[in-house]
Amino acid sequence: MHRFSLAAAIAASLAAPAFAADTPESTLDQVIVTGTRAKDRTVLDSPVPVDVLTADDLRAAGAINGELGQALAVLLPSFNFPRQSNSGGSDHVRAAQLRGMSPDQVLVLVNGKRRHTTALVNTDTKIGKGTTPVDFNSIPISAIKRIEVLRDGAGAQYGSDAIAGVINIILDDADHGGEVTANYGAYHTDFDPTGDTLTDGQGAFASAKFGTKLGDGGFARFGVELDRRAATHRAGYDELPPWENDSPENVALRGKRNYRAGDPETENYNAWINAEVPFSPAWTGYAFATLNARHSIGANYFRYPDSSANVPAIYPNGYRPDSLGSNRDLSATGGVRGRAGEWDVDASLTHGRNDFEYRLRNSLNVSLGAASPTRFKVGEYGNRQTLANLDFIRGIGNSFTLALGGEARRESFETQPGDPASYAVGPVIGAPTGAQAGGGLTPQDAADLARDVFGAYADFAGNLGAQVFVDVAARYEHYDDFGGELTGKASARWEFAPGYAFRGAVSNSFRAPSLSQVGFESTTTGYGADGVLTTGRLLSVNNPIARALGAKPLDAEKSTNVSFGFTAQVTDAFDVSLDLFRIDVDDRVTLSERITGDALEAFIEQRFGVAGVQSASFFTNAVDTRTRGAELVTNWRAPLAGGTFTATGAYSYADTKIRKVRPTPRELTELGADNVLFGVEERNTLTDAAPRQRAFVTTKWDGEDFSLLGRVTRQGSTTRVFNFGGGFEPRQTYAAKWQLDAEVERRLTPSLSLALGGYNLTDQYPDRSIPDISYAGNFPYDVISPIGLNGAYYYGRVRYRFD
């Protein structure tokens, strides 16, 4: 009954029903800067749906060691952030979705400037496979003043990859005072697959920030964050997969927990600054930067003592490789803004870079025999983005705003090979080559690509009378490797009665494939979904082997967004909005299915002289999709018992269907009937691996000395499909689950407060995976369910503020 004690303490705060966004009263009338360049729009009178999340929202939602991505997943039902495990790079850099779209189809801004993406290519994951997403967890959560989330296509306004929407992170700009915060938490759960009560994932998080005035009207705000989190362990008892040798050495491990599933062990360090200095009555200089260093340890599949993946002289009892990620991330912006005649002018220069080093320990290269090392550098990844922005905005008359601007951007992506032993072909004949659980990038895999992008836009917005607001934007964007495209957007809001309005938008966009999708290659040795140990290659579409398998040069994605909505300020205390949308994407960039078979291996060896390639894949424009959805948001607030009571929540629905699939190239079908360009696994990734529906209700009571918060979330169902070959395609749908979160905060003094809280207080887990999917009992829960596989989490927080 211990899990319900905290929930009972705040039961009163869950008494009132509502569906809404987790948005306090102050944000409803706050002027927003995302979604329109008119200067007087608020959340309710915006022509497109925009959510505003405050620092208080993030603090209450991001208690798992300051993870910004997790906080957004708690607060935004349209935001999916699965906690994947045994997923290669995704153990270290997690990908996020908005409106069920791909992670690379949402644009992230910081103070209105484009954020760079990670360098690590996620190739062994489910959600976000083949993408280099923005790493939300490299952005310090304590640096944030608020976040504005535009849930609409905005390529014509902000850039071609804003297909699903825009997330604009606005940094803290207070010119005085500061804050020190410390959290400690852990998972405490009853783990049914083993019958144990587990306490793990212990994590400590601390942040400090301080502000000071600079000159007359300027400021500097800066801070640091430190956190450390232990791993979680949610593997089941090993029943020994039937494809492994039934030898005494292997059978002796039956009934043990040989695998590990769960969160990685992490150490995270952040520093940030946000500053402005006026240097004349009309002009102000500004600068902001974030710096992140993260070290993480992920898990991989167990290798049995009597298997082709082991050298018994090194690991007589088998082994489980650990993946080691070292992530270094920097973003810095400097600029000036001011007034030149009738124009407000903003000129800036931004540089962002991410460097990721991937290593393995407790591994080996079987082909090197007993001489194999057990630690390897698998490869290094680098991503750079430098952009210059120039924006002009002015009023026209009393009702209209004209904005003009341009952006020049330089992007580069590179990979460097791993240690020679990580990819070596050793003297042991017939043994798997390369480091187990990774396989190092070879010199032939190494990539070094760059491109230049130029964009120019115009945006005209204003009121047509007292009831109608319109916003029209156009953008021309040119990639030196994919050409140019003119895109546009038109949105409008009609207030047909005081407080009641219809709104809608139509837009188009195009997204050039990322540089990693154009040129990344890798060689891996590991276990496929069917449990078979294979050496596989991910090939660039420009690789002669890929071309011989039917790969074609990639095209840019082209999309069309249509939305229609209704908003109502029913009373001063109650508002509601409902938005419907449709997103069509043609030539969607995905990874092909894994191409396998003896015929493939023989074909590559005979034609190209490359032996031992047992599987291959490459990027393709194989599919067109259509995503339809609806989003409902309401807020209700009222005085209660000497404090303020708010009931807020939201509902999101997004359903993706496949509209068209390109035919499988003849070159693939000749190598085996099972080889298809786009099959059941990739179809599952795009359509139903992410939840179609999520909803939550949040209630909060703020008094003079206490705050009570309760949140009930319905995590929607997900579906997992595997293709094990030969027509064996196990499928399982994991049912929707309810989750209860709560927090109580006590203000001891005006400056000092203490909080206790928890997530998933009723200790919910996904449905147990069926035997065909649970990997012989080792993975009793699938990682794609939003409820996660860690169980209940409890935390405490102390916060001290000073002027």
pLDDT, residue 40, reads: 67
Neighbouring CB atoms inside 10 A of 487's CB total 26
* DSSP string across 502-546: EEEEEEEEEEPPPHHHHH--EEEEEE-TTS-EEEEEEE-TTSHHH
Mean pLDDT of all residues in 740-753: 96
Per residue in 476-486, pLDDT (tens digit) is 999 999 999 99
| 3-class DSSP state of 466 | coil
In the sheet where 106-110 sits, what is the strand order? Answer: 50-54, 144-150, 165-171, 106-110, 113-114
pLDDT of residue 62: 64
Written as six digits, the tokens of 577 are: 């909005």
Nearest CA to 294 among 264, 327, 331, 323? 327
pLDDT at residue 9 greater than cutoff 60:
no
Contact assessment for residue 151 and residue 117, using Cβ atoms and an 8 Å cutoff? no
- CA dist 782 and 763 (Å) reads 16
Grade residue 168 by pLDDT with cuts at 50, 70 and 90: very high
Query: What stretches of 106-217 adopt beta strand conformation (E)?
Result: 106-110, 113-114, 144-150, 165-171, 178-191, 196-214
Check: CB of residue 460 under 8 Å from CB of residue 471. Answer: yes
Residues listed for the chain: 803
pLDDT value of residue 784: 87
- 755-793, pLDDT tens digit by residue? 999 999 999 999 999 999 999 999 999 988 889 999 999
Q: Is the dihedral of CA 32, 37, 40, 42 positive or negative?
A: negative
Judge residue 430's burial from the number of C-beta atoms within 10 Å of its C-beta, 0-12 exposed, 13-18 middle, 19 or more buried: exposed
CA distance 242 to 776: 8
The highest-level CATH class for domain 2-802 is mainly beta
The pLDDT tens digits of the residues spanning 532-544 come to 556 788 999 999 9
Concatenate the DSSP letters of all residues of 407-424 into one string: EEEEEEEEEEE--HHHH-
Q: Per-residue pLDDT for 278 more than 50?
A: yes
Q: Residue 738: beta bridge partners?
A: 714
Q: Classify residue 642 as exposed, middle or buried by CB count within 10 Å of its CB (0-12, 13-18, 19+).
A: exposed
State residue 3's pLDDT score: 44
Q: In whole angstroms, how far apart are CA 744 and each of 168, 715, 756?
A: 29, 23, 6
Q: Give how far the C-alpha of residue 648 lies from the chain's centroid of Cα atoms, to the nearest Å.
A: 24
Assess whether pLDDT exceeds 70 at residue 691: yes
Domain-by-domain residue ranges, the chain?
A: 2-802
Task: Report the 3 state secondary structure along 492-504.
Answer: EEEEEECCEEEEE
For residue range 51-72, what is the model confidence (pLDDT) as tens digits? Answer: 999 999 998 886 677 899 999 9
d(CA 501, CA 577): 9
pLDDT score at 20: 35
**Nearest Cα residue to 37 out of 369, 400, 349:** 400
Q: What angle do CA 83, 87, 93 make, to 5 degrees?
A: 60
Average pLDDT over residues 556-570: 96
What is the full DSSP assignment across 451-464?
Answer: EEEEEEEEEEEEEE
Confidence band (pLDDT; 50, 70, 90) for 26? Answer: very low
Chain centroid to CA 144:
18
Report whether pLDDT(10) > 60. no
How high does pLDDT run on average in the chain?
A: 91
Structural contact between residues 353 and 332, judged by C-beta atoms closer than 8 angstroms: no
The residues, ordered by sequence, that sit 6+ positions from 476 with a Cβ below 8 Å of its Cβ are 455, 456, 457, 484, 485, 486, 487
Q: Distance between CA 646 and CA 40 in Å, rounded? A: 25
pLDDT of residue 78: 94
- Percent of the residues in the chain that have a pLDDT greater than 70, as a whole number: 94
The pLDDT of residue 65:
73
Nearest to 129 by CA among 789, 790, 783: 783
